[in-house]
Structure 1
Amino acid sequence: MTREPVLEIDDIRVTFDTPDGAVEAVRGVSMRVGQGETVAVVGESGSGKSQVMMSAMGLLASNGQATGSVRYRGQEILNLPTDKLNKIRGAKITMIFQEPMTSLDPLYTIEDQLCEPLMIHGGKSRGKASARVLELLKLVQIPEPERKMKAYPYELSGGQRQRVMIAMALANDPDLLIADEPTTALDVTIQAEILHLLADLQKRLGMSILFITHDLGIVEAFADRVYVMRHGKLEEEGETAQIFNAPVTEYTRMLLDAEPSGTKAAPAQDAQVMLEGHGVKVTFGQPAGFLRKDTQFTAVRGIDVALRQEQTIGIVGESGSGKSTLGRALLQLLPAEGRVVYLGHEIGGLDRKGMRPYRDGLQMVFQDPYGSLSPRMTVSEIITEGLLVHEPGLSSKERAKRAAQALEDVGLEPSMRNRFPHEFSGGQRQRIAIARAVVLRPKVIVLDEPTSALDRSVQKQVIELLRRLQKEHALSYLFISHDLAVVRALSDYVMVMKDGAVVEEGQTEQVFDNPRASYTHELMRAAFDLRGILREKLA
């Protein structure tokens, strides 16, 4: 069935003016989105998929220029004057971005921010706009909407902030919703809820959805048609079933085969225990006092864990389950109760000075390498910073040699050491973060969501890298993630956390194939049967 086109993109080309010359990010791409249709655009980082949409919406960076044709219901909108374009974008075409915390203004309440498009594009008074805000928050199933509309973005969870962004996009009943990686940073259960919400709203409102993502599981469950992009060009397009069951190009086959695979063998039962925690408990806030309310919140509730040499323990659970807090508590990066022992040494409660002799053996890799790498330091300075503290006797030549070796260990050229973080891709930045950790030759590394923001193909490379480094250096990993496919491929033991407590733990195969706790079963289903969940909920 041919649907009436809502958006038509023809031969779009996007060029950026840079100090190194012109960079062609999009090279002659054409797409169509029909009425009530869900179309997915997939590809690795740098493929140009987001730039196609940014040019269509008139949101390119100041050094970018777009040529070609973009038509909304037959009207040319590419390079349309701002005043005329504003009558369409924000009203007829709206967009949800990947990270709601950076898209929402931290200084304004949710009500203020949702009222704005209603007053500007819908011409509503403040009173009518506020009433509509309440309707929208109920529509996207925000709990306690009357209270949450008075809240600030930081007071909401990641899933709730993403629902607010959806509410903002739906404020003026758009024809087309463009969703740019709207679920990448969300847990699998919240991801399933957001996708169900979008599918339900589409069914009720009849709008079209253009979904930009690198998560092929979502595409298979959610999209009618798919466009595959690479290096600024279209590699392949077609019905979702055809793309997944009979891909034409080698690149599409590579993307489909990039799902994490393999298993991790458990270490010997008598392998040395490297790091262990007994009754680890973390509480934030303060108890009630004179003229002070009780603000205490227990994030980790008395957990026991023992990590052996060359073992990888995967810690999974939703946002707020306490998994990252547990990892930081074990490394003494925040105050905690209970015992923590590293190689027979009691380290629980040690201050910064007391921990210094153990820091080189206990390292951490964070989720966002761009946020954890100083933009003012070169890669060489970032990697050798720890050596200056923990091995001050090394000469500058020896430090440079160690940095070069660390870069080679993570698959990067030593010649890259004088570049800055912004000059690397997301996957390369994550490798730099890992190099910074391994240069100190640690025994234990806590990896906190190190692959969640990466494309599947890059994820696969990082998984292989972590496996190789573990084998070569006898490393032990505590792997914190909400991506269960990655956890299954990398871990030999899994702990499932909910509300600060462990609800289930055991060998990876047992937990994944025969979960005992109903919560674990829900997590597994949300991760591996997204299509089934959406089909059931929309029936």
Structure 2
Amino acid sequence: MTTSETILTVRNLKVDFTTPDGMVNAVKGIDLDVRQGETLAVVGESGSGKSQTMMGIMGLLASNGVINGSAKYRGRELIGLPVDELNTIRGAKITMIFQEPMTSLDPLYRIGAQIAEPILHHRGGSKSEARARVLELLKLVGIPDPERRIDSYPHELSGGQRQRVMIAMALANEPDILIADEPTTALDVTIQAQILDLLKSLQQRFGMAVVLITHDLGVVRHFADRVTVMRRGEVVEAGTTEDIFERPQADYTKMLLDAEPSGHKPPVADGTPVVLSGQNVTVDYDIPGGFLSKASVFRAVDGVNINLRQGQTIGIVGESGSGKSTLGRALLRLTNAKGRITFEKREITGLDRKAMRPLRRRLQLVFQDPYGSLSPRQTVGEIITEGLFVHEPQLSRAERDKRAIEALKEVGLDPAARNRYPHEFSGGQRQRIAIARAIILKPDVVILDEPTSALDRSVQGQVIDLLRELQKTHGLSYIFISHDLSVIKAISDYVIVMKDGKIVEEGETDAIFNAPSADYTKTLIKSAFTADVAA
């Protein structure tokens, strides 16, 4: 890579948060430079401070956060810059793709209007011109049927589709620096490659710098020019991508490079009792008509049959929008569905909310977006013990607190975390809080919707080991929904592959990965493991 102009200079940057347990030093005086047209990857485990560094530079810290030091964009100091002046830079010259798209998109506005907002603010022009640009962007980032989706609300899109909307919004004004915070976290492997190719082509066309915050080292190796490795708020190593991957110096960097989900779960015996089943499960969504369009029905899940046995882990894979998350919610009676759903030989399809309530503690769900599912107004302790008020009201406050401590320890968090709020944690830490909230009730079945998507590889391994141990100890049954095939391979003993709401292939894990029969399954596996081998 040829030497180019440094356009962002960060020196002695510190980010601190005031908490009930004292000051938390999230970023401890780091230095870094971003050069025009390059890709700088900032990597590290959850809680390393990589996201808070960029949030601080953008002036987006939580109210209890304080930033000190210097961050100069083309010689102009950003730290302490008045909001009205900062707004002329962020959204136009420096933009950011956030890790949790559902919390960044306004649920009350259509996605087309939200993407158009920065275009109109920074470029001006008519609404019709902005709409044309929005359609162009939606096509670029791979949103299916963009003419219809432009008028959709965020909740009508899958997690991966919402992430692509965020990418479209960030690219709208062709920024000088694009900060991408886990931009492919919610995307399946085939779309990951498309998005990264898109970012690379736009980067080359406009000379745009990209700061890539990620835990996916495979992406880093193929996409980044330079790498900065962070741990506990400090930079432990920095250099070219080749140097970091081929000649790492720090032990911590070597540990990150060696981390990869591993293990093998043997299948359960054929005669093992079925705990949760669905026959011909079908989910339809009504799509209202517009001025020039008729009302229609979108079939998200199309006649799916599934049988989950005690102690079994069924992995459900497929691209974004394949219906895998909708199927999980339907099995838990969290969305309306046709067909027959049975829990421990009792049909629950027609049960109302009151009749389902006693079963809720035994049927738990860990959501894909932990920040959106964690109340920002409650402490972590209040969040994870909330279910105990409903299902074990006889417990005293001390007993609930003891259970909270035990649950936090099980997911690898400091028990003192129960006195803090969700926004004080990284995405990976919030995901572990969400898992703690589910396991504190000691359920029989847990449906995990992308539970490791926000976690770095080393922590993914810890969570997988935790889930295995809980399953072994308590005989838990899991439905594990993910686009990450390496995780699915490590934790599942049975795999279901979905596309367009239907099952295209299913079978024991070894059979699916070693001898897939469907072309779609072959494509998914090739996309995932070709990158892993190259990395």
TM-score for both structures, normalised by structure 2: 0.85
Specify the alignment match of 2:332 in structure 1.
Answer: 331
Give the corresponding residue for 1:526: 527
Task: Kindly indicate whether the alpha-carbon contact (under 8 Å) linking 2:283 and 2:301 is maintained by their aligned counterparts in 1.
Answer: yes
Q: Is the 8 A contact 1:323 1:497 kept in 2?
A: yes
Q: Which has the larger radius of gyration?
A: 1
- Equivalent AA in structure 1 for residue 104 of structure 2: S
Aligned counterpart, 2:478:
477
Aligned to 1:445: 446
Give the Cα separation in 1 of the matches to 2:456 and 2:271: 37
Deviates more, 1:502-511 or 1:516-525: 516-525
Q: 5 Å matches for 1:456-475?
A: 456-475=457-476
Distance 1:298 1:91, change over 3 A: closer
Tell me the residue number matched to 2:515.
514
Q: How far is the alpha carbon of 1:178 from its aligned partner?
A: 2.0
Aligned partners of 1:323, 1:6: CA distance in 2, in Å? 44
Instruction: Quote how far apart the aligned CAs of 1:252 are.
Output: 1.1
Look up the equivalent residue of 2:58 and give its one-letter code: M
Q: 1:362 to 1:461 in 2, by over 3 A?
A: same
| Residue correspondence of structure 1 range 95-494 to structure 2 within 5 A | 95-110=96-111, 112-122=113-123, 124=125, 132-133=133-134, 136-137=137-138, 139-140=140-141, 149=150, 153-154=154-155, 158-285=159-286, 295-356=296-357, 358-374=359-375, 386=387, 389-390=390-391, 406=407, 409-410=410-411, 426-427=427-428, 429-494=430-495
Decide whether aligned partners of structure 1 residues 441 and 163 sit closer, same or farther in structure 2, where only a CA change above 3 A counts. Answer: closer
> What amino acid is the match of 2:463?
V
1:196 aligned partner, one-letter code: D
Tell me what 1:48 maps to: 49
Equivalence for 2:71: 70
Q: 1:346 to 1:65 in 2, by over 3 A?
A: closer
Partner of 1:7: 7
C-alpha spacing 1:377/1:350, structure 2 compared with 1 (3 Å):
same
* Structure 1 residue 409, shift from structure 2 partner: 4.9
| 2:53 aligned partner, one-letter code | V
Give me the whole-angstrom Cα distance separating, in 2, the residues matched to 1:64 and 1:394: 35
Name the residue aligned to 2:95: 94
Quick check: 1:4–1:34 contact (8 Å CA) kept in 2?
yes
State whether residues 14 and 69 of structure 2, in contact with CA within 8 Å, keep that contact through their aligned partners in structure 1.
no
**In structure 2, what is the equivalent of residue 537 of structure 1?**
none
- Please say if residues 6 and 175 of structure 1, whose CA atoms lie closer than 8 Å, have aligned partners that are also in contact: no
Contact 2:27 2:234 in 1 (8 A): yes
Q: Structure 1 residues 380 and 66, CA, compared in 2 at 3 Å: closer, same or farther? A: closer
- Deviation digits for residues 494-516 of structure 1, max 9, x if unmatched? 00111111101111122123222
CA distance in 1, matches of 2:379, 2:391: 19
In the alignment, the residues of structure 2 paired with residue 424 and residue 37 of structure 1 have an alpha-carbon distance, to the nearest angstrom, of 29
Tell me how far apart the structure 2 counterparts of residues 375 and 112 of structure 1 sit (CA, whole Å).
26
SS in 1 for 2:468: helix
Q: CA deviation at 1:454?
A: 2.3
* Bigger Cα displacement from structure 2, 70-79 vs 508-517: 70-79
Moved more, 354-363 or 172-181: 354-363
CA distance in 1, matches of 2:420, 2:66: 27
CA 1:173–1:308: 2 relative to 1, 3 Å: closer
Q: How far apart are residue 30 of structure 1 and its match?
A: 2.0
What percentage of residue pairs aligned between the two structures are identical? Answer: 64
Per the alignment, do residues 257 and 125 of structure 1 end up closer, same or farther by CA in structure 2, a change over 3 Å counting?
same
Q: Between Structure 1 and Structure 2, how many residues are aligned?
A: 531
Aligned CA distance change for structure 1 residues 8 and 323 (closer, same or farther; 3 Å):
closer
CA-CA distance at 1:171 after TM superposition:
3.7
**Structure 1 partner of 2:34:** 33
- TM-score, normalised via structure 1 length: 0.84
Q: How many angstroms apart in 1 are the aligned matches of 2:285 and 2:212?
A: 38
Q: Is the 8 A contact 2:36 2:209 kept in 1?
A: yes
Given the superposition, is the C-alpha separation of residues 516 and 53 from structure 1 closer, same or farther in structure 2, using an over 3 Å criterion? Answer: same
| CA pair 432-96 structure 1, distance change in 2 beyond 3 A | closer
Residue 190 of structure 2 aligns to a residue in which SS? helix
Specify the SS of the correspondent of 2:174: coil
Structure 1 residues 527 and 82, CA, compared in 2 at 3 Å: closer, same or farther? same
What is the SS of the residue equivalent to 1:262?
Answer: coil
Q: What SS does structure 1 have at the residue aligned with 2:253?
A: helix
**For the residues of structure 2 that align with 1:326 and 1:459, how far apart are their CA atoms?**
24
Question: How far 1:42 sits from its partner (Å)?
Answer: 0.9
Worse overlay, 463-472 or 410-419? 410-419
**In the alignment, residue 311 of structure 1 is paired with which amino acid?**
Q
Amino acid at match of 2:214: T
CA gap of 1:367–1:75, structure 2 versus 1, over 3 A, is: closer
For residues 405 and 225 of structure 1, do their structure 2 counterparts lie closer, same or farther at Cα, with a shift above 3 Å needed? closer
Query: Unaligned 5+ residue runs, structure 2?
Result: none
CA separation of 1:118 and 1:511: change in aligned 2, threshold 3 A:
same
Deviates more, 1:207-216 or 1:483-492: 207-216
